Chain A
Amino acid sequence: MIGNLDHATLQQLWWLIASVVGSLFLFLTFVQGGQTLIFTLASTEEEKSLIINTMGRKWELTFTTLVLFGGALFAAFPLFYATSFGGAYWVWMLILFTFIIQAVSYEYRKKPDNILGARTYEIFMAINGSVGLLLIGAALGTFFTGSRFSLNLYNSVTWQTPYHGLEAALNPFNLAFGLFLVFLARTLGAMYIVNHVAHEALAKKARKATWINLLWVLPFLLTILISLVTMDGFAVEPTSGEVFMEKGKYLNNLLAMPAVLFLLLAGLGSVIYGVAATGFLGKNNGIWFGGIGTVLVGLSIFSLAGFHNTAFYPSTSDLQSSLTIYNASSSKYTLTVMSYVALAVPVVLAYVAYVWKLMDAKKLTLAELTGEDVKEMY
């Protein structure tokens, strides 16, 4: 069955798979959100420890999903990998830097003789949750605003600014995208705390934090949505592959792909319901509505950027260097092989979900942090 798919279908399938992984990553950034909440939500050392240990049980999943997102893009769209990472060098390097410092922070923070002190590792976590996500958002924003690069005949990239991607963070749309992700992650983080921590005072503050952070999300979300439906976009002429500017391209995409419009609206509705359920209705399962909603919003955004004859990584300085899911992809053979490999993804999701359920069956308590397992706690 997979072996019979044509190249274009495989390219679309792999954009969808990469979008699913990327969207799952966006949901899992509740860990990053939680990391920024330790400075604004926790008023005692105990509360701080509860937040860090709650997030500490999931940080690797987020990290791994990001790595898989990179790996999937490398395998399926190597020209994007080469162009964006090699060109927008500094954005990606700084993002990676924030993830390196995150990776050690959980394990080292509480360990004696850790040289830098617990506070430094907490700051590392906060940097990852704020600067890291802001820059990821800015990088994603360039899917719509474009970047200044050109490719030669051999597809070797030359970046046209000396800032190598940092200029993206100065574009208001990209900046709004970054801040949207930061506050969305904080909203999700607060919902996860309510879901997983058995501590009345902390849960009360977390419930309040869900809607406060959602209020922070709104201006950036509105900026993104209004811009998206009004801005010109990077369209591709399907037969010649020529890239040109189209008026209201992303609005046209939404109207031409009603399923994407549905995903976007359903996703936003789900996130808002998750916040309402957590913040006002006293429910603990808001994270699932928030999480699923985030995945749906993510899928709609990736679909808007990549489907319906759209250049997903456009160049503003040389339109014809823009990347589409067709010119940036791997060969038919490689995409076919990788599609067989992707059949394992549901199995992976199933065991992740099973272990998640098992580990989260009981809420995290203060007693657990100070009990027999104290040495292993973060």
Chain B
Amino acid sequence: MGDQLLTTVDWARAQFALTAMYHWIFVPLTLGLSFLIAFFETIYVKTGNEEWKKLTRFWMTLFGINFAIGVATGIILEFQFGTNWSNYSWMVGDIFGAPLAIEGIFAFFLEATFFAVMFFGWHRVSKGFHLFSTWMVAVGSNLSAVWILVANGWMQFPTGMGFNPDKARFEMQNFWEVALSPVAVHKFTHTTSSAFLLASLFVVGISALFLLQERHQKMAKRSMVVAAVLGFIASLFVAFTGDEAAFSVAHRQPMKLAAMEGLYVGQEKAPIVAMGIINASKKPGDDLPAFYQETKIPGLLSLLANRDPSSYVPGINDLVFGNAERNIVGAEQRMVTGKIALAELARYKYAKETGDEAQAASALALFDQHKGDLGYGYLNSPAEAAPPVATTFYSFHIMVVLGTMFPLIFLAVLYFAFKGTLEYQRWLNLVCFFSIFLGYVAQEAGWVVAEVGRQPWAIQGLLPVGVASTNIAASNVQTTFFMFLTLFTALLLAEIRIMIQQIKIGPEA
């Protein structure tokens, strides 16, 4: 039974990772390109220049192709919480369902309603209303990001809620704490600015391809300048919000930060590993080296985590086994408390069921004393509290390296555009084109850091993934995993082929 459940959880996690990663191929482009298109159309409406209209419609075509598959991969994510994570849906649905419903009411209808005007309204509505509709699609897409990231932020930092033992679930107690949680704010600012960055890379890259092919040069240069300006501003914002997000992780998810840097033993003046090859066989508490090779920058992790280069940053071992000297209660101790909480909850439920009010009252009192570590009670060993370190480490470093490179590309584009020699910079244009791919790599890496780094928790510290999943035979989830893998891969291939063909066709002559 245990093995069977584990396998179900594994497949459910694989399926969620698969659908989320596919979905995130399309969403960042939608978030950013919608605004770029709105900028382009605004220039058209302001100037009346038909060239800008052609340019707008070209990027709009690519937007539409991308948008459709984003919608297709998105619907399954919402319903997957119910199908594959039904215990999660019950245990935290009272809190988690609200942002999803709000997303539907406030964001999806804006997108759905005005999308039709954007594509089919050129001759059905006024120029001004069409522009308004384009902006509404951009606003709607980004509003959708707000609410889904509020939901995701709550999974990383559960707040504004309490546990109801009668219902055996968590319930919302303060909506504003959920909606305005600092983690949600960081998630939104970092994610959307990175989406603007990706969309800018996309427009710059495709336009650079046109320059390399000596086609549509005027349109390409115009697109590149607007996108490079947005991209450069977005890059700075990504760096700033990334720093804020890391600071937040240090204080709210210290285990994730330790995994991001492969830090097993906490220390003062903790370094950042600029480059390193991690020892994947190392486990918490053993004596193996954490890295085969590494280049460190001393004090930088302390600075990132605490704004103080000499401060102490806890490592994985401290968080797993505890560190009395530093007053850190480890997962090992919290498991003991958590198991008491679970046992008292069971005693309480049984006493209520049998009408034994005295027993129920004493069980509830003990439960209340220990409920802070409830989630840890579900773990089987303290080491389970650590996420997969190698995956988290490499993803984080890939994201940071690429994120540092992108603003330089935008600056170079703007420099040569200012000099009027953009079309002659063959190497730069090649780099721009290949950076589209790198932009996607950085996007996916960012989500891997956020979600793999959160493991083993579905809800940080409260609910491990093993408890959150549906009570269903693994073969069902395995089958749907391969169904989605096949379908999404086929649709992705179709999308890429259609995109390439549309880029070949280019804007209208």
Q: Which residues does A use to contact B, with CB under 8 Å?
A: 57-58, 60-61, 63-64, 66-68, 70-72, 74-76, 78-79, 81-87, 89-90, 92-93, 96-97, 99-101, 103-104, 106-108, 111-116, 153-159, 162, 164, 330-331, 333-334, 337-338, 341-342, 344-345, 348, 351-352, 355, 358-359, 361-362, 368, 372-373, 375-376
Contacts and interface: CB of A to CB of B under 8 A. Distances in A.
A64 B349 CA distance: 40
A68 B72 contact: no
A351 B113 contact: yes
Contacts of A372: 122-123
Contacts of A342: 105
Given A104-B68, A115-B490, A333-B172, A74 B120 contact: no
Nearest to A53: B120
Contacts of A359: 116-117, 120-121, 124-125
A345 B133 CA distance: 19
Interface stretch (B87-95, B220-228, B364-372, B404-412): B87-95
A348 B109 contact: yes
A153 B83 contact: no
B93 A96 contact: no
Nearest to A84: B82
A76 B97 contact: yes
B79 A58 contact: no
B498 interface: yes
Interface of B: 57, 60-61, 64-65, 67-69, 71-73, 75-76, 78-79, 81-90, 93-98, 100-106, 108-109, 111-117, 119-125, 129, 133, 164, 167-169, 171-173, 175, 349-350, 353, 470-473, 476, 480, 483, 487, 490-491, 493-495, 497-498, 500-502, 505, 508
Contact of B102 (A83, A341, A368): A341
15 contacts: A57-B116, A74-B81, A78-B169, A86-B471, A90-B476, A96-B75, A96-B76, A100-B76, A103-B72, A104-B494, A115-B493, A155-B169, A157-B471, A333-B171, A351-B109
Contact of B89 (A64, A78, A97, A101): A78
B123 A107 contact: no
B94 A331 contact: yes
Contacts of B86: 81-83, 85-87, 156-157
A85 B83 contact: yes
Given A60-B71, A333-B173, A85 B120 contact: no
A114 B86 CA distance: 36
B116 A58 contact: yes
Nearest to A348: B109
A77 B491 CA distance: 33
A114 B129 contact: no
Given A60-B116, A84-B82, A158-B471, A106 B68 contact: yes
Contact of B79 (A72, A75, A92, A373): A92
Contacts of B115: 60
B82 A63 contact: no
Contacts of B105: 68, 71, 341-342, 344-345, 348
Given A74-B97, A86-B86, A115-B497, A107 B68 contact: yes
A311 B383 CA distance: 44
A114 B94 CA distance: 42
A76 B337 CA distance: 32
Given A75-B101, A107-B65, A114 B171 contact: no
B123 A155 contact: no
A326 to B, nearest CB: 12
